[in-house]
Amino acid sequence: MDWTDRVGVVTGAASGIGAATARRFAARGMRVVGLDLDAAGLAATHEAIGAAFTPVALDVSDGAAVRAAVGGLARIDAVVNCAVNFLAKGIDVTQDDWDRVLRVNVQGISNVVQAAHPLLAASGHGAVVNVASVSAHAAQPSRWTYNTTKGAIVTLTKCMALDLSADRIRVNVVSPGWIWTPEVAKAAGGDREKWEPVWGRFHMLRRLGEADEVAAAITFLCSADASFITGAELPVDGGYLAMGPEGLGDDSSFAGTDAREER
């Protein structure tokens, strides 16, 4: 895949899956415009990628800022929406919590796709990939906010895919399982060795995923190899969603790092 001269817009590019996607795109020759709140994180991605990466510090929920940054570009071939507010609230949720999490996780995607739409259409092969989660499909304790926004992203993806199909823009969504990114590392207190055997068992593959494994699926969905795929959800979850309540059964073996190395 040679994507020289193509331009990708990646939100959440300062960290985790967004940064991994920016690196994959750049490795294929693409120029990447990374949008994120975190200027220091963007600078780190910039340093890792070099001149092919343009950092833009903004809040994706700020429609005017997104229009100014994205609308002013000369070309856009792909948009990837990774930016997220991880707020997890349940019965204690406030009006402000709802306003914030919906504005960032759902409306933020709408802002970026709206702004990029004319240039995606002009490319003749535009692709959008949104990032939802296994949490779109499962109840988890005290997560009215995060999980609801992830469910909304799956539905938003289908509506976008229908409306943008006339412009030959494909819109898909990936739903990751537990991926070792800073948010998960924070929950683990940085102790992957302790927590991977516990959380890994939520997945058939008995381990956590890597940001680059999600980036690989995103890159596929943006490529010509996915030319007849739109409105689809691709779980990148090591079998999390396919597993029944019996879990892994009696087999308590833990493949962990070995399985990763075998890839």
CA distance 155 to 149: 10
Out of 3, 25, 144, 146, which one is annotated catalytic?
A: 146
- Nearest CB to ligand NAD, comparing residues 84 and 161: 84
Distance CA 144, CA 150 (A): 10
The Cα–Cα gap between 63 and 116 comes to 12
Is residue 240 part of the annotated active site? The answer reads: no
Q: Smallest gap, in angstroms, from Cβ of residue 27 to ligand NAD?
A: 18
In angstroms, give the least distance from the CB of 16 to ligand NAD: 2
Nearest Cα neighbor of 223 from 125, 143, 121, 154 is: 125
Residue 226 contacts residue 172 (beta carbons within 8 Å): yes
**Contacting residues for 44 by C-beta, under 8 A, at least 6 apart:** 14, 19
Least distance between ligand NAD and beta carbon 209 (Å): 7
Pick the closer one to ligand NAD by CB: 14 or 128. Answer: 14
The dihedral formed by the CA atoms of 214, 215, 219 and 220, expressed in degrees to the nearest 10: -20
The nearest distance, CB 168 to ligand NAD, in angstroms, is 26
Query: Helices marked H in the chain — which ranges?
Result: 16-27, 39-49, 63-71, 95-102, 108-123, 144-164, 182-187, 192-199, 211-222, 256-262
Distance CA 186, CA 189 (A): 5
By CB under 6 A, name the binding residues for ligand NAD: 11-12, 14-18, 35-38, 41, 59-61, 82-85, 104, 131, 133, 176, 178-179, 181-184, 211
Which residue's CB comes closest to ligand NAD? Answer: 16
Minimum separation from the CB atom of position 163 to ligand NAD (A): 22
Q: How far apart are CA 29 and CA 7, in angstroms?
A: 9
Nearer to ligand NAD, 82 or 234 (CB): 82
70/131 with CB nearer ligand NAD: 131
SS3 126: coil
Cβ proximity to ligand NAD: between 167 and 212 the closer is: 212
Catalytic positions? 146
